[in-house]
Copies of this chain bind each other. A is one copy, B any other.
Amino acid sequence: MSEKITDLALEIRESFPRNNVEIKGVVLEKRYDEEGKAHITTVHIKDERGSRAMGKPKGCYVTIESEDMPRDDISKENLLMCICRELEHMVDGLRQKSVLVAGLGNRQVTSDSLGPRMVECIFVTRHFGREFGEEFMRTNEYGDVSAIAPGVMAQTGMEAVEVLEGIVKKTSPEVVIVVDALAARSMSRLCTTVQITDTGISPGSGIGNHRRALSKKSLGVPVIAIGVPTVVDAKTIISDHLEKVLTKQGYNEDEIDKFIKEVFQDEMDNLYVTPKNIDESIAIIAKDLAKVLNHCLQKKVSRS
8 Å CB contact of A273 from B165, B244, B272, B278: B272
Are B109 and A276 in contact, CB atoms less than 8 angstroms apart? yes
Question: Which of A37-45, A74-82, A257-265 lies at the interface?
Answer: A257-265
Q: Using an 8 Å CB-CB cutoff, how does the interface string of A220-264 with B read, 1 for contact, 0 for none?
A: 000000000000001001100110110010000000000100111
In the bound complex, residues from chain B placing their C-beta under 8 Å from that of A273 are: 234, 271-273
Given A168-B166, A241-B238, A263-B242, check contact A268 B187 (CB 8 Å).
Answer: yes
| Interface residue from B147, B151, B263, B267 paired with A187 (Cβ < 8 Å) | B267
Question: Within 8 Å of chain B (Cβ to Cβ): is A194?
Answer: no
Asked whether, in the complex, the Cβ of B163 is within 8 Å of the Cβ of A148, the reply is: yes
Q: How far is the CA of A170 from the CA of B273 in the complex (A)?
A: 37
Stretch from A11-19, A63-71, A154-162, A195-203 that touches the partner: A154-162
User: Is A304 an interface residue when CB atoms closer than 8 A count as contact?
Assistant: no
Q: A145 — nearest CB in chain B belongs to which residue?
A: B157
Which single residue of chain B is at the shortest CB-CB distance from A283? B108
Question: Cβ of A171: which chain B residues have Cβ within 8 Å of it?
Answer: 158, 162, 166
User: A98 — nearest CB in chain B belongs to which residue?
Assistant: B157
Contact B166 A158 (CB under 8 A): no
Given A124-B156, A166-B169, CB of A245 within 8 Å of CB of B271: no
Contact B276 A272 (CB under 8 A): yes
* Interface contact A109-B277, CB-CB below 8 Å: yes
A69 to B74, CA, bound (A): 28
| Contact between A274 and B276, CB atoms less than 8 A apart | no
Q: A187-B267, A274-B271, A279-B108 are in contact. Are A147 and B153 (CB under 8 A)?
A: no
A258 → B minimal CB distance (Å) = 10
Number of copies: 4
* A110 CA to B274 CA, complexed, in Å: 11
Q: Which residues of B contact A277 (CB under 8 A)?
A: 109
Q: Does A188 contact B (CB under 8 A)?
A: yes
A262 to chain B minimum Cβ distance, whole angstroms, is 5
Q: Which residues of B contact A298 (CB under 8 A)?
A: none
Chain A window 176-190, contacts with chain B (Cβ cutoff 8 Å), 1 for yes, 0 for no: 000000000001100
A146 contacts the other chain (CB 8 A): yes
Say yes or no: is A10 at the interface (Cβ < 8 Å to chain B): no
What is the chain B residue whose CB lies nearest that of A150?
B148
Q: Which of B124, B157, B279 contacts A109 (CB 8 A)?
A: B279
Q: Is A126 an interface residue (CB 8 A)?
A: yes
Which A-B residue pairs are the 7 nearest by beta carbons? Answer: A166-B166, A126-B157, A124-B157, A166-B170, A146-B157, A166-B167, A241-B263
CB-defined A-B contacts under 8 Å, sample of 13: A124-B155, A126-B157, A146-B157, A149-B151, A162-B167, A163-B166, A163-B170, A166-B167, A187-B271, A188-B267, A241-B264, A241-B268, A245-B259
Extra 8 A-B pairs, beta carbons < 8 Å, given A127-B157, A169-B170: A108-B120, A166-B168, A166-B169, A169-B169, A234-B234, A238-B241, A241-B265, A271-B274
